[in-house]
Structure formats: structure tokens, C-alpha cells
């Protein structure tokens, strides 16, 4: 038991080694003149600014606002993209009809459309949720379509040979087999939703992580600026690993099938 714990600690330490080296270089470089401490302060100063943001509660206020916007826009995109992707991937006629329009929309830069969303929905919450909704849906949609199209033909033939109806085939075979690909799109879109939101908050907002970053930059509070960037990175990591854990739990049947 103790041996397993030691082995686990060594594995975690090894995985964090590159991060530790990076932080060490960040701390030392400005102090020995390899970087200008005005624009790249030592990591210890950034960490102090990060702790100050936590102790005052300001970080949690901005984090709450950003998460609320991101989750709402992401949830709307998920609710639209998954059903639409399943339909497009399964019904070739529908795909043939709608694919040119989807490809046109997909090639349009999300942030380039932000002024349009502001004109349509104003500078308040709705425009930010709308731009997140628009930006996150494409990775989910395309991965859902790919998941449906890449279902093993043998599974489909086996189900049909047993007299399975098209509806049951779609529900019992196509959708479960598409789940891993759908989760890949969800993970990509979850990170994208945060990035889009940060950019949107930097353009027009009075709260949120993007506003915190922009406000620190304008006021030349460099350690505070880097602290907000670190917060965004940590948020992205937490979201990604949370989705990975959920995916493993949902697709546990794949591992059981492989073992059998």
C-alpha cells in the first residue's frame, strides 16, 4: 500500500517537473537581467498578486461572472449542436441540403462577428452569451457528424440483420457509438467558450476575467495582469480534466467491450 502511494507521488512529481522548471526560469530570468522585470515580473510577485485577488474576493467575483456567461452559452450550443449533428450525420439528404450553409458559417471568424452581435443584442449579457453560443457549436457539430458517419458498419449490419427498426438502430447503436467523438467536440468547445468569452469581455464588460485582464493592463498593474492570465489557464485545465473524467465514466462500456 505504501509502495503504491510512493509510486503515485513520483508519477505526479514527474508530470509536474516541466511546470516546475518553467516557473523557476520565470522567477530567475527577470532577477538576473534576462528579461525586463517591468514587463515580466518574477513569478513570486505574480503569485502574490494572485493571492491578493483571492483574499479580497475580487477574483471569485469575476470568475463567477465569466463562468455564468460561459456555461449558459456553452449549454445552448450543446443543446443545438448535438441533435443537429446527429441528424446531419444520419440523414444524407439533409446533409446535402444544409452542408453548404454550414460550411459558409463555419469559415466566418467568431470574433469578427462580435460587432454584429453587439448591434443585434446590445453590449449587455445577451451579446456575450450569443457569441459564445455561436463559437462553441462548430467543434461539437462537426465531431458529432463525424461520430455518426464513422460508426462501425458491422454494428449497423448486425442490428439490421436482427430486424431492428431504424429508430431503435439510431437510439441504441448510432448515438452510443458516437459518444466518444461527441465528447471530443465538447472538450474542444469548452476551452473555446472560455477563450471567446475572455475576448468579448475585454471589448465590452464591467466584470469577468476578460475585464480583469484588460483593466490590469490599462492600469499597468503587470503582476495582476499575469495573475488573471494564470487564472484563465487554470480554469481551462480544470474544465478539460473534468470533461475527461466524465467521458471515461460515460464511455466505460468501451473498455469493458475491449476486455471481453
Tell me how many domains the chain contains.
2
Residue 3, domain extent: 1-40
Residues 4 and 71 in one domain: no
**Residues 105, 9 share a domain:** no
- Kindly give the residue spans of alpha helices, DSSP state H, lying in 91-221: 92-106, 114-121, 125-149, 153-161, 166-169, 175-203, 209-218
Say which range, 121-125, 133-137, 179-183, has the weakest mean pLDDT: 121-125
DSSP 165: -
What pLDDT sits at residue 258?
Answer: 46
Q: Do 115 and 173 reside in the same domain of the chain?
A: yes
Same domain, 235 and 117: yes
Query: b/e for 80-108, b at 16 or more Cβ within 10 A?
Result: ebbebbbbbbbeeeebeeeeeebeeeeee
Residues 191 and 87 in one domain: yes
- Do 229 and 115 share a structural domain? yes
For the residues 201-220, what does the mean pLDDT come to? 84
Distance CA 209, CA 232 (A): 7
Residues 63, 132, single domain; the answer is yes
Q: Are residues 201 and 121 in the same domain?
A: yes
pLDDT tens for each residue of 102-116:
888 887 777 778 888
CATH number at residue 84: 1.10.3720.10
- If asked whether residues 108 and 8 sit together in one domain, one would say no
Q: Give phi and psi for 42, each to the nearest 5.
A: -55, 150
Q: Tell me, what DSSP letter sits at residue 112?
A: G
Handedness of CA 120, 124, 128, 130 (dihedral sign): negative
pLDDT band for position 2 (cuts 50, 70, 90): low
The pLDDT of residue 221 is above 70 = yes
Both 244 and 128 in one domain: the answer is yes
The mean of the pLDDT values for the chain is 83
Residues 165, 177: Cα–Cα separation, whole Å: 17
Length of the chain: 260
Mean pLDDT comparison of 46-60, 88-102, 198-212, highest-scoring range: 46-60
Say yes or no: 207 and 150 in one domain: yes
- Residue 49: pLDDT over 90: yes
How many Å apart are CA 239 and CA 245, to the nearest integer? 10
CB 140 within 8 A of CB 76: no
Region 147-175: mean pLDDT is 80
Q: Percent of the chain having pLDDT more than 70?
A: 93
What φ, ψ does residue 226 adopt, rounded to 5°? -65, -35
Verify that 160 and 81 share a domain, yes or no. Answer: yes
The answer for residues whose C-beta is within 8 angstroms of residue 6's C-beta and 6 or more apart is none
Amino acid at each position: 500500500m505504501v509502495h503504491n502511494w510512493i509510486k503515485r507521488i513520483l508519477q505526479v512529481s514527474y508530470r509536474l517537473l516541466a511546470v516546475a522548471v518553467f516557473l523557476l526560469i520565470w522567477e530567475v530570468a527577470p532577477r538576473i537581467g534576462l528579461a525586463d522585470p517591468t514587463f515580466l515580473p518574477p513569478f513570486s510577485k505574480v503569485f502574490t498578486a494572485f493571492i491578493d485577488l483571492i483574499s479580497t474576493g475580487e477574483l471569485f467575483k469575476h470568475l463567477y461572472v465569466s463562468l455564468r456567461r460561459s456555461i449558459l452559452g456553452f449549454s445552448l450550443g450543446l443543446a443545438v449542436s448535438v441533435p443537429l449533428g446527429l441528424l446531419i450525420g444520419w440523414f444524407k439528404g439533409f446533409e446535402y441540403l444544409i452542408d453548404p450553409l454550414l460550411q459558409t458559417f463555419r469559415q466566418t471568424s467568431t470574433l469578427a462577428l462580435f460587432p454584429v452581435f453587439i448591434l443585434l443584442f446590445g453590449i449587455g449579457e445577451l451579446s456575450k452569451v450569443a457569441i459564445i453560443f455561436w463559437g462553441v457549436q462548430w467543434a461539437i457539430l462537426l465531431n458529432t457528424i463525424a461520430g455518426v458517419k464513422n460508426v462501425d458498419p458491422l454494428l449497423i449490419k448486425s442490428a439490421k440483420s436482427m430486424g431492428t427498426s431504424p429508430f431503435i438502430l439510431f437510439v441504441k447503436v448510432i448515438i452510443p457509438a458516437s459518444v466518444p467523438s461527441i465528447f471530443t467536440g465538447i472538450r474542444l468547445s469548452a476551452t473555446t467558450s472560455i477563450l471567446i468569452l475572455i475576448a468579448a469581455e475585454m471589448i465590452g464588460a464591467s466584470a469577468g476575467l476578460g475585464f480583469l485582464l484588460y483593466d490590469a493592463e490599462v492600469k499597468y498593474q503587470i503582476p495582476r495582469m499575469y495573475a488573471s492570465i494564470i487564472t484563465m489557464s487554470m480554469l481551462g485545465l480544470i474544465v478539460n480534466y473534468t470533461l475527461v473524467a466524465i467521458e471515461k465514466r460515460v464511455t466505460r462500456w468501451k473498455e469493458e467491450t475491449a476486455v471481453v
